Structure formats: structure tokens, C-alpha cells
Amino acid sequence: MTLEIITSDSLVPFRHGFFTRRGGASSGVFAGLNCGTGSTDQSEIVAINRARVADAMTVPLEHLITVHQTHSAKVQIVRGPLESPKPEADAMVSDTPGVALGILTADCQPVLFADADAGVVGAAHAGWRGALDGVLDATVEAMTDLGATLEGIHAVIGPSISQRCYEVGPEFLDTFLAEDPQNARFFVNGANDRFHFDLPGFGLHRLRSAGVVAEWTRHCTYSDAERFYSYRRATHAREADYGRLMSVIRL
């Protein structure tokens, strides 16, 4: 099956893509393009999937750069292949041609950044924790340190869990209200004491508050099992594990 790659005009002219699960070599619960080395999928199959992503980005596999994601606000500057073990970070920025920045997600927000005039790109993994702690703001700041401008940066949030599928408890709401009472606007009432959280809406708010143009592709990972992996859907289905989607941008 051919790879399916979601793109955005806002990130042109840089080669980029939010890859779906279509076109991969994995099987079973991982069926498709599972790029997660942290999954229990066969490592050689994951390597095949990553090589297909690298080919689509027209870079050698060693120039498809990923980091050890930990739901932090840490940003890694990338100018070439990283030493092993991979550094802990949840975002990367680069001003180096031929380097592809890859983010892994399965409900969290994959966010790709580009400043075409400055020749600077970025990629971030923004779950609720990382977004609340400022990983998106930190990525924008790191890009400006490399010469990008707030007016020139465009950010695109890729396939993520949508509000209608993201049910949370009252303690979750309290965490956001403690940070800023205005965060209540990203929650709607659910059944009993549950709420539904708008993760992409919160991500857009943080990006726009940081001063950059931002959009969401409006794809929900949870509700489209044929195209996307979803940690939450796999948990609800009591599956043993789940695949990870790859999102990439390069100069």
C-alpha cells in the first residue's frame, strides 16, 4: 500500500508530512506504518517503516532524527545525527539543510513549524503535559534563537485526539485551572463528573499566544482507526500495545 502523507500549504516550500498508518510493513495491532521503537513491534519491521519515511523525505535514514520523548518542554537543536543514547526532549529545531526532524505520536499533538524566509524548521510532541508546561512556546523561542521571526513562523498541528473523544476527570480540569482560570474554555461537561478536553484548541491557543500563525489539520486520531494509531483507543479496546505515527519536516 502506498504511503499516505498529510501536508499543509502553510509549511511549503519545506518537504514535510504527517504520516498516517497506511503503507507500512507492521501487522497485528501495529498494522501499518508503526515508527515507534518504544513499541513491542519487531524492531526490524519498525526499521523498515522508518526507512520508508526517510525515503519519502528524501534523506538517508540516519538523517531522520528523533529524540527520547518524555512529555517535557525541552527543545533540542539539531544540525546532524544525534549521538546514542538519544537526548531527552520533546521538540527539535534546525537550520541545517538535509536534516529531517521526526516526532512520534498516538493521540498527542504533532506540531510542525517553518519559517521559510529564515530557513528554520521545528517539530514538537505536545501532549497535555508538555503543552501546559510550555513545549510549544519553547520551540518558538528556540527557532527565533536560530534567526526565525514571530511574523515568519507558521505552525501546523497534525492528527491528534479531538475534544469529543478526550474524556478526563475533575483532577485534570483542576490542574489546568490552577495554571490559568481562563483554561476552563477548553473543557465541556461530559457524563457525571467527567469533562471533555480540547487538546488541539489548547495547542492553538498556546501557539497564537506565542505570536505565530497556527492551524490544525482537523484529523482525530481516536475516531479513525484505519488511518491513525491511538493510545486511548488501544487502551479502551484492551489491546496489548499500540503503534506510533511519524510526523516530519526538513529543510
Question: Domain for residue 72, yes or no?
Answer: yes
Question: Domain for residue 80, yes or no?
Answer: yes
pLDDT tens profile 109-124: 999 999 999 999 999 9
Q: What is the CATH number of the domain that holds 89?
A: 3.60.140.10
pLDDT of residue 79: 95
Sheet hosting strand 195-197, strand order edge to edge: 167-168, 195-197, 187-189
pLDDT of residue 209: 97
> Burial, 118: exposed, middle or buried (Cβ in 10 Å; 0-12, 13-18, 19+)?
middle
Question: d(Cα 88, Cα 75) in Å, to the nearest integer?
Answer: 9
C-alpha cell at 117: 524566509
Alpha carbon distance, N-terminus to C-terminus of the chain: 27
* Average model confidence (pLDDT) across the chain: 97
Question: d(Cα 77, Cα 73) in Å, to the nearest integer?
Answer: 13
DSSP three-state, residue 232: helix
Number of alpha helices (DSSP H) and beta strands (DSSP E) in the chain: 6, 14
Q: Work out the average pLDDT over 135-157.
A: 98
Question: Domain for residue 19, yes or no?
Answer: yes
Query: Does 31 have pLDDT greater than 80?
Result: yes
Question: Domain for residue 179, yes or no?
Answer: no
pLDDT of residue 84: 87
Number of structural domains (the chain) is: 1
> Burial, 96: exposed, middle or buried (Cβ in 10 Å; 0-12, 13-18, 19+)?
middle
Residue ranges with strand state E in the chain: 5-6, 16-19, 64-65, 75-77, 91-94, 100-105, 109-115, 120-126, 154-157, 167-168, 187-189, 195-197, 213-216, 245-250
pLDDT tens profile 41-94: 999 999 999 999 999 999 999 999 999 999 999 999 999 999 889 999 999 999
pLDDT of residue 65: 98
Q: Does 60 sit behind a cis peptide bond, omega within 30 degrees of 0 on the bond before it?
A: no
Domain of residue 53: give its range.
5-162+198-250
Question: Domain for residue 49, yes or no?
Answer: yes
Q: What are the φ and ψ backbone dihedral angles of 99, each rounded to 5 degrees?
A: -105, 125
Which region, left, alpha or beta, applies to residue 9 given φ > 0 means left and ψ of -120 to 50 means alpha?
Answer: alpha
Q: Which amino acid is at 31?
A: A
pLDDT of residue 83: 87
Query: Does 2 have pLDDT greater than 80?
Result: yes
Query: Does 33 have pLDDT greater than 80?
Result: yes
Q: Work out the average pLDDT over 195-206.
A: 98
Query: Does 1 have pLDDT greater than 90?
Result: no
pLDDT tens profile 123-142: 999 999 999 999 999 999 99
Which region, left, alpha or beta, applies to residue 241 given φ > 0 means left and ψ of -120 to 50 means alpha?
Answer: beta
Question: Domain for residue 193, yes or no?
Answer: no
Question: Domain for residue 191, yes or no?
Answer: no
User: CA-CA-CA-CA torsion for 199, 200, 201, 207, nearest 10 degrees?
Assistant: 110
Question: Domain for residue 138, yes or no?
Answer: yes
